[in-house]
Chains A and B, each alone.
Chain A
Amino acid sequence: DAGVTQSPTHLIKTRGQQVTLRCSPKSGHDTVSWYQQALGQGPQFIFQYYEEEERQRGNFPDRFSGHQFPNYSSELNVNALLLGDSALYLCASSLSYSPYEQYFGPGTRLTVT
């Protein structure tokens, strides 16, 4: 049983560019959450998707957007990248009817230069 997978593992972008990160949830999980973990900090909640809709959103600007596909996989898009967007981006999946355990992927390390 594959766990949560994310791609790519690492990414280097230039300020002002756009980036798309991808996540495949654990088998059977229908809810996907995205978190940003800056260096030396705990993860911060970006948003959560269920049934292809954004169900909850954290305190992040509109430059951060997402999508969930019918197979429950998800994308995180960040436009107009800033240096401060450099971080580890974590995807977590869970079951809508048992949301208390979120399973995290290994993350995508984004560096903005």
Chain B
Amino acid sequence: AQSVAQPEDQVNVAEGNPLTVKCTYSVSGNPYLFWYVQYPNRGLQFLLKYITGDNLVKGSYGFEAEFNKSQTSFHLKKPSALVSDSALYFCAVRDGGQAGTALIFGKGTTLSVSS
């Protein structure tokens, strides 16, 4: 069964420091991986995706993610955190070997950036 795991419920980082939000996945075929961000009382906003190609994917708002097939991970990163980055982050996966485009989401990681 397809799944994603976000092992940290919360990540705390000081403004200006680099941040990493972790995600691991499990799929039977090639993974299509996504990161979304959710602000309070808002829907999800798309940040970036990995379908194929370079293992380092660049996305919106200065975020990037590194795909690691051997470790089945897709960690979200940013070189310098902003207070405005504080939000709930979701990793999601779609199994590229199956029909349909349903996304399987992790439980989410709350990112808190302090000034």
Contacts and interface: CB of A to CB of B under 8 A. Distances in A.
Contacts of B77: none
A101 B49 contact: yes
Given A42-B107, A44-B105, A106 B46 contact: no
A105 B46 contact: no
Name the interface size band of chain B: 20 to 34
Interface residues of A, number: 26
Interface of A: 4, 31, 33, 35, 40-45, 48, 55-56, 58, 90, 92, 94, 99-107
A-side binding surface: helix, strand, loop or mixed?
strand
A45 B104 contact: yes
A41 B102 contact: no
Contact of B107 (A41, A94, A99, A105): A41
Given A42-B108, A100-B32, A100-B51, A106 B42 contact: yes
Nearest to B51: A100
